[in-house]
């Protein structure tokens, strides 16, 4: 049921036990031993999953209106580790935070039902062949204006229900996978990068996403990506992506997606 934001005088809170879904990922930043060499306590829970946790109070407040016209921005400030109970909170003014069991803020941002910006048209390109290794990630291969290989696939209820289980999602809105979770779409923003270049250990930093329409079981999805910036800050090398996802040719989700592709 969609509820008018005018009827929401209080904050919405959601607690969940974080789970590291990526221990076998090619991104070894999710591996305990590798992450420790970068100064972390253990393998990082994927940033796109932390981002997914933060969508829950937005859906609790606005229902499917959020999935068809909501904006959410979140920046990951500190790691979330497997087994930690974290709390996502959406305040009445749209301020969004995710706190760890010690009370520290691990991520922050905002959410709203404001008017969405125009869709940025990104060129469709062939997807990298699964039989070919992508080139190594370099400043040259990630220079501004680089169009990433387009991902194409059919959204299916069955694997989506596995995704919902992994992120501990219980909202009835997603109906065991028939309606796509926005965190699943955010995960595709990672994939459109990692299938274009071969990365070492890397870190998702932030995502500002515009939800434009529902994605449903059986929809044909295209994920397009464009490098909008590549830069250095405090010894890290960052990449900014513009990402557009269409369902049956209709804009469904778009984002500015930022990652540290080469930690110092």
Question: What is the domain partition of the chain in residue ranges?
Answer: 7-262
Higher pLDDT, 51 or 128: 51
Backbone angles phi, psi at 139, to 5 degrees: -60, -35
Residue listed under structure tokens 């909501």? 70
Q: H or E stretch including 187? A: helix 182-194
β-partners of residue 220 are 154
Residue 233 has pLDDT above 80, yes or no: yes
The answer to whether 109 and 258 have CB atoms below 8 angstroms apart is no
pLDDT at 90: 99
Average pLDDT over residues 207-222: 98
β-partners of residue 87 are 15, 99
- Please give the model's pTM, rounded to 2 decimal places: 0.93
Percentage of residues in the chain having pLDDT higher than 90: 86
The answer to whether 198 and 137 have CB atoms below 8 angstroms apart is yes
The answer to whether 92 and 12 have CB atoms below 8 angstroms apart is no
Contacts of 167 (CB under 8 A, 6+ apart): 16, 19, 21, 49, 52, 53, 181, 183
DSSP 122-156: ----PPPPTTSPPPBP-TTTT-TTPBPPPEEEE--
- In CATH terms, the superfamily for domain 7-262 is Hotdog Thioesterase (3.10.129.10)
The helices-and-strands tally (H runs, E runs) of the chain is 5, 10
pLDDT in tens, 76-106: 999 999 999 999 999 999 999 999 999 999 9
pLDDT in tens, 46-66: 999 999 999 999 999 999 999
Out of 44-53, 84-93, 117-126, 185-194, least confident range: 117-126
Residue 6 has pLDDT above 60, yes or no: no
Residue listed under structure tokens 């250990």? 201
Going by C-alpha positions, the residue among 74, 72, 58, 73 that lies closest to residue 5 is 58
Average pLDDT over residues 26-54: 96
The answer to whether 41 and 78 have CB atoms below 8 angstroms apart is no
d(CA 248, CA 24): 31
d(CA 253, CA 69): 10
Mean pLDDT for the chain?
94
Average pLDDT over residues 114-138: 83
> How many CB atoms are located within 10 Å of the residue 19 CB?
18
The answer to whether 262 and 200 have CB atoms below 8 angstroms apart is yes
pLDDT at 1: 47
Going by C-alpha positions, the residue among 240, 255, 245, 256 that lies closest to residue 146 is 240
């Amino acid at each position: 049921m969609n509820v008018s934001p005018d009827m929401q005088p209080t904050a919405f809170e959601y607690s969940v036990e974080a789970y590291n879904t990526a221990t076998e990922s090619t991104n070894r930043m999710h591996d305990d031993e590798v992450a420790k060499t970068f100064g972390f306590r253990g393998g990082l829970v994927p940033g796109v999953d932390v981002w997914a946790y933060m969508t829950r109070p937005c859906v609790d407040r606005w229902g499917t209106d959020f999935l068809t016209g909501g904006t959410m921005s979140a920046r990951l400030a500190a790691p979330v580790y497997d087994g930690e109970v974290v709390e996502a909170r959406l305040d009445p003014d749209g301020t969004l935070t995710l706190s760890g069991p010690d009370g520290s803020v691990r991520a922050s941002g905002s959410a709203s039902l404001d008017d969405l910006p125009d869709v940025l048209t990104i060129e469709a390109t062939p997807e990298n062949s699964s039989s070919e290794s992508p080139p190594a990630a370099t400043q040259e291969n990630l220079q501004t204006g680089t169009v990433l290989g387009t991902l194409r696939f059919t959204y299916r209820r069955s694997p989506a229900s596995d995704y919902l289980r992994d992120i501990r999602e219980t909202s009835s809105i997603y109906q065991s996978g028939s309606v796509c979770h926005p965190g699943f779409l955010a995960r595709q923003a990672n994939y459109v990068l990692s299938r274009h270049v071969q990365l070492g250990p890397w870190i998702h930093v932030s995502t500002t996403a515009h939800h434009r329409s529902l994605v449903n079981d059986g929809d044909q999805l295209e994920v397009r990506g464009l490098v909008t910036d590549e830069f250095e800050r405090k010894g890290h090398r960052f990449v900014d992506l513009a990402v557009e996802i269409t369902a049956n040719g209709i804009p469904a989700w778009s984002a500015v997606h930022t990652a540290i592709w080469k930690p110092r």
